[in-house]
Amino acid sequence: MALRFEVLGRFNRARAARLTLPHHVCQTPLFMPVGTQGTIKGLTTSQLEDIGCQIILGNTYHLALRPTSELIDDLGGLHKFMNWPRALLTDSGGFQMVSLLHLADITEEGVTFQSPVDGKPMLLTPEESIQIQNRIGADIIMALDDVVKTTITGPRIEEAMYRTLRWIDRCIAAHKRPNEQNLFGIVQGGLDPVLRDICVRGLVDRNLPGYAIGGLAGGEDKDSFWRVVAQCTAALPEDKPRYVMGVGYPLDIVVCSALGADMYDCVYPTRTARFGTALVPEGVLKLKHKAMAEDTRPIDPTCACMVCKKYTRAYIHSLVTKDAMGSQLLSYHNLYYMLQLSRNLHFSIIEGRFPEFVCDFLQKMFPEGDVPEWVCNAMEVAGINISPCCALLSSSRQYFSSQGEKEFEAEKLSCQGEKEVEDEKLSSQGEIEFEAEKLSSQGEKEVEDEKLSSQGEIEFEAEKLSSQGEIEFGAEKLSSQGEKEF
């Protein structure tokens, strides 16, 4: 075991801890930005240090393809390769094979997939995954698991769970650097509490340095989502870190932290930045909206990041979806927002004001008191009284629609497994960016489509709205049922 996990403060199930990893001492709750290819969207490692990033997630599948784990090993490991002095985590690579490659096939031996290089069938076994991750050298490495969509039911879920348990032993046996790298096991079992329970107990028996809750953030309904998290966090050991994979949106992180989870990763902050969306306490701010062109306020007046200190919404509006700098600056702000959220969670727990923080957070995001029911349910289980920020919906709804123009300023984040399809064209250098990280390590699917004509913006957006019935105003056209999705 190459980590120390010390809980510094608690509020009911929520905890704030010091997680000492070989390369960095981290504070939990902890958001881990995704640096798929050994970099995060145009930001330098010194900028990431500036904004308080403690740990970066790298994708084994991509790194093994290019530049290859052997090269990374030759050059002294991923830390040295990307010149990142702080902590790193790599996933097993299995998830991305299954989700990116149509021809992937999972057998007892491992994941068989077609090589994207020469098309030949290749096999990723648990041993191979660990070997690659040993070469990459991250502080935390993930076991290869049998990934299935949470929306699938039936015997396949059970098979995957048991296979994940069989594979963890092969991973443990293959792990050659247990004193420098921490192997985390992944709890599977879909939405079935019995299967989840068997998996948790099986993994806890192996006494691993940390545990992840996998198979979520894949489009399951939010109520099922938080119940799985709550069940797993309750059953996992108190003295080990708990990582909810592929989560998530700011609201998800607050809820999961209240339920006792510690670590999160999501591509959302950087991906959404590329399409001109900023994360703000009220939800999201769409900077490509025409109204932004004359808005001389910062993105978030309460944000202390470099971008909010220097730039107006109007200036960012002129950059987004047109210049690379637009996504660079928005990624900077969005990551700062997530890292600041992590810090706020940590200190509010330590300072004994966690419920106040949660209420404040919910009040800003749902000023009319329309906190989603799943959040209310989860907070009840977490023992956090959020009644001060919940109100009767009927009166506030009326008020809300009379405030029509407020809508485009700060749209609420849809928290219902939002599916977006985006396709982006960067105009500045005629560069078409290849987006290899279409999928995050655990299942977020976001697809957006955006076409920019040189003579003016023709915008078409297909978004599936949450069951909250959010109404979007402005130039955006939406398909009422999301049937025009790609």
Partner 1 sequence: MTKTAFGFPLKHSHIKTKLAASLGGGAETTTTITSMKFSVKTWSNGKARTGLLQLGNCPSPIETPSLLLSTRKGLPLFISPDLLPSLPLPDSYLLQFSPLHFLEGLSTKTIAAIGGLHQMLGLHDYVYAAVLRDPIQCLPECDASNKFGASFETPCGRVLVKPADYMDMIASMKPNIWASLADEVPAWVSSKRNRTSVDRTVKWLDECIALGSAKAAGGALFGAIVGGSNIEERKRCAQEAAIRNVSGYWIGGFGLGESMDERPALLNAVTVSFKLTRVLFKNTDYFECFIFKAKGEWLFYCVRLEIHAACWMNRVVTVVCIVGSEVMIEVRDAGCQDSLQEEKPRLVCGLELPEEVLQGVAAGIDLFDSSKDATPIVQNCVCYTCQNHTKAYINHLLNVHEMLAQTLLEIHNTHHFLGFFRSIREAIKEGRFDLFRQMFVQHRREQLAAVAVCA
Binding site for substrate: residue ranges? 91-95, 145, 188, 215
Q: CA 90, CA 413: separation in Å to the nearest integer?
A: 28
Verify binding: residue 454, partner 1, rule CB under 8 A. yes
Verify binding: residue 333, Zn ion, rule CB under 5 A. yes
Active site residue 169: no
State yes or no: cis peptide before 94, omega within 30 of 0.
no
Gyration radius of the chain over CA positions: 22
**Which of 146, 252, 265, 295 is labelled catalytic?**
265
Q: Toward partner 1, which CB reaches closer, 429 or 481? A: 429
Q: Which of residues 62-101 bind partner 1 (CB under 8 A)?
A: 62, 66-67, 71, 75, 81-83
The residue range among 194-202, 335-343, 424-432, 459-467 that interacts with partner 1, by the rule CB under 8 A, is: 424-432
Q: Which does 62 bind (CB under 5 to 8 A by kind): partner 1, Zn ion, none?
A: partner 1
Bridging pattern class, strands 456-458 and 263-266: unpaired
Estimate the share of the chain in helix, then strand, then coil, as percent rounded to the nearest 5. Answer: 40, 15, 45
Q: Which does 377 bind (CB under 5 to 8 A by kind): Zn ion, partner 1, none?
A: none
Q: CA 275, CA 452: separation in Å to the nearest integer?
A: 12
Q: How many CA atoms lie within 13 A of 197 on its CB side?
A: 5
Verify binding: residue 474, partner 1, rule CB under 8 A. no
Q: CA 140, CA 137: separation in Å to the nearest integer?
A: 8
Q: CA 299, CA 350: separation in Å to the nearest integer?
A: 29
Q: Which does 278 bind (CB under 5 to 8 A by kind): Zn ion, partner 1, none?
A: none
Q: CA 329, CA 317: separation in Å to the nearest integer?
A: 11
Q: Toward partner 1, which CB reaches closer, 235 or 314? A: 314
Q: CA 395, CA 406: separation in Å to the nearest integer?
A: 17
Task: Number of residues interacting with partner 1: please give it, by CB under 8 A.
Answer: 49
Q: CA 180, CA 160: separation in Å to the nearest integer?
A: 29
Least distance between partner 1 and beta carbon 312 (Å): 6
CB 95, CB 442: distance < 8 Å: yes
Binding mask 269-308 for partner 1 (x = CB under 8 A): ------------------------xx-x---------x--
Q: Toward partner 1, which CB reaches closer, 91 or 220? A: 91
CB 5, CB 19: distance < 8 Å: yes
The 3-state DSSP class for residue 330 equals helix
The residue range among 240-248, 314-322, 347-355, 405-413 that interacts with partner 1, by the rule CB under 8 A, is: 314-322
Kindly provide the b/e burial profile for residues 208-221, where b requires at least 16 CB atoms within 10 angstroms of the residue's own CB. bbbbbbbbbbbbbe
Q: Which does 44 bind (CB under 5 to 8 A by kind): Zn ion, partner 1, none?
A: partner 1
CB 58, CB 90: distance < 8 Å: yes
Verify binding: residue 273, Zn ion, rule CB under 5 A. no
Q: Which does 308 bind (CB under 5 to 8 A by kind): partner 1, Zn ion, none?
A: Zn ion
Verify binding: residue 115, partner 1, rule CB under 8 A. no
Using CB under 8 A, pick the residue from 22, 29, 33, 38 that binds partner 1.
Answer: 38
Bind-site residues: 91-95, 145, 188, 215, 303, 305, 308, 333
Verify binding: residue 308, Zn ion, rule CB under 5 A. yes
Q: Which does 305 bind (CB under 5 to 8 A by kind): Zn ion, partner 1, none?
A: Zn ion
Bridging pattern class, strands 30-33 and 242-244: unpaired
> How many Cβ atoms sit within 10 Å of the Cβ of residue 383?
13
Kindly provide the b/e burial profile for residues 28-65, where b requires at least 16 CB atoms within 10 angstroms of the residue's own CB. bbbbbbbbbebebbbbebebbeebebbbbbbbbbbbbb
Q: Which does 333 bind (CB under 5 to 8 A by kind): Zn ion, partner 1, none?
A: Zn ion
Q: Of 407, 402, 404, 408, which Cα lies nearest the Cα of 291?
A: 408
Q: What is the DSSP letter of 244?
A: E
The residue range among 11-19, 53-61, 242-250, 300-308 that interacts with Zn ion, by the rule CB under 5 A, is: 300-308
Q: CA 182, CA 180: separation in Å to the nearest integer?
A: 7
Which strand (E) or helix (H) includes residue 310? helix 306-310
The residue range among 45-53, 177-185, 219-227, 254-262 that interacts with partner 1, by the rule CB under 8 A, is: 45-53
Least distance between partner 1 and beta carbon 323 (Å): 6
Active site residue 50: no
Q: Toward partner 1, which CB reaches closer, 125 or 133? A: 133
Q: Of 453, 463, 478, 474, which Cα lies nearest the Cα of 417?
A: 463
The residue range among 162-170, 193-201, 319-327, 359-367 that interacts with partner 1, by the rule CB under 8 A, is: 319-327
Q: Which residues bind Zn ion (CB under 5 A)?
A: 303, 305, 307-308, 333
Active site residues per annotation: 91, 265
Q: Which residues bind partner 1 (CB under 8 A)?
A: 37-47, 50, 62, 66-67, 71, 75, 81-83, 293-294, 296, 306, 309-312, 314-315, 317-319, 322-325, 327-329, 332, 427-429, 433-434, 436, 454-455
